A and B are shown apart, each in its own frame.
Chain A
Amino acid sequence: MISSVWPQVPPVPPSPPAPPAEGFKPPGTSDFDIPPIFEGVPVLEWFDKPTLQLILAALIVFGFFALATKAPSIVPGRLQFLAEKFQGLVRDQIARDNIGPEFRKYVPYLVTLFAFLLVNNVFGIFPFVQFPTFAHPGMAYALAAVTWIIFNYVGLRKHGALDYLKLQTWPPGVPWAVRIILTPIEFISNFILRPVTLSLRLFGNMFAGHLLLLLFVFGAEYMLTTADSIVLNVLSPFAFLFAIVMTFFEAFVQVVQAYIFTILTASYIGASLAEEH
């Protein structure tokens, strides 16, 4: 046998795995888990920072418009002018262009929605808050659900159930062979994918933007304090600088996302109200 030919070698115990090097740990989804404010209090376990921000944003929006229209005058003051401009922007550029002749009813909801989203998104770069509320998807689902209910309710009330379904899933002038495929696609796209993409778009942008800022700031901090290489130490101010640049980019993205959510809500309402064509 082999063991008799060669001298017996005692089996080498497996060497313990080398301790992982002190490397850079990139920020991930765990950085979005914020502990509740009232830890251990039984009823208020759900109450955390994003919830607080949501309430704060509602108060800010309400307070701003209440203050701006407290004593309205023909020649508007500064606050009233701002509120009127804001309302005018939503009314003329979002509601009228997308909804059509019956746009006036939906202007209050759209103005409130836009202002609420704007405040919540800008919380992402606002000093001492610095967390976009909609980086938690649950918040975005709720807003998209409200939009979904509104555009379906409006369409059902105007056309009735059968005509509304026909409007949404039965595009005219399509050969029957194509229709077999097209109608299910239209149904899925209009009733299921619309709220999903609406909420995920908002959530994804806020999430990705916040993650990007975290990456640059944590990376710069690691390069400055923990890294051994002198090159990284010298380069870290540039990472900080880029974090500042990305903050401005995030400001732009946050405004655009609030705008897009509002404009898509208006567009869905307009599609529900459209006459058969």
Chain B
Amino acid sequence: MVQGSLNMVGYGLSAVGPGIGVGIVFAAFINGVARQPEARGQLQTIAFIGFALSEALAIIGLVLAFAI
């Protein structure tokens, strides 16, 4: 007998999208630094903003999974 909330299964599924998004952001960051190491500082800022924006979806999903 498995107990628990189905919300968590839904949240796990919905976390796939932001996961892929964060992966793409950092892959692009690594590519950029590999091509042009001196641009690292600027790229890092942009990469973290992009990371935060795509991660927001996962976080909203987490909050809703507990709230509803």
The residues of B that contact A207 with a CB separation of less than 8 Å are 62
**Contact call B63/A200, Cβ cutoff below 8 A:** yes
**Contact call A260/B52, Cβ cutoff below 8 A:** yes
Chain A interface residues (CB < 8 Å from chain B): 23, 26, 29, 93-94, 97-98, 197, 200-201, 203-205, 207-208, 256, 259-260, 263-264, 267
**Contact call B42/A201, Cβ cutoff below 8 A:** no
> Cα distance A256–B57 when bound, in Å?
17
The residues of A that contact B66 with a CB separation of less than 8 Å are 29
Partner of A201, one of B4, B44, B45, B56: B56
> Cα distance A208–B48 when bound, in Å?
20
| Residues of B contacting A: mostly | helix
B51 at the interface (CB under 8 A from A): yes
CB-CB nearest 9 A-B residue pairs: A204-B59, A197-B56, A260-B52, A204-B62, A201-B59, A97-B45, A200-B59, A200-B63, A201-B56
Chain B interface residues (CB < 8 Å from chain A): 3-4, 41-42, 44-45, 48-49, 51-52, 55-56, 58-60, 62-63, 66
**Contact call A263/B56, Cβ cutoff below 8 A:** no
B67 to chain A, nearest CB (A): 9
> Cα distance A29–B65 when bound, in Å?
11
The residues of A that contact B58 with a CB separation of less than 8 Å are 204
The residues of A that contact B63 with a CB separation of less than 8 Å are 200, 203-204
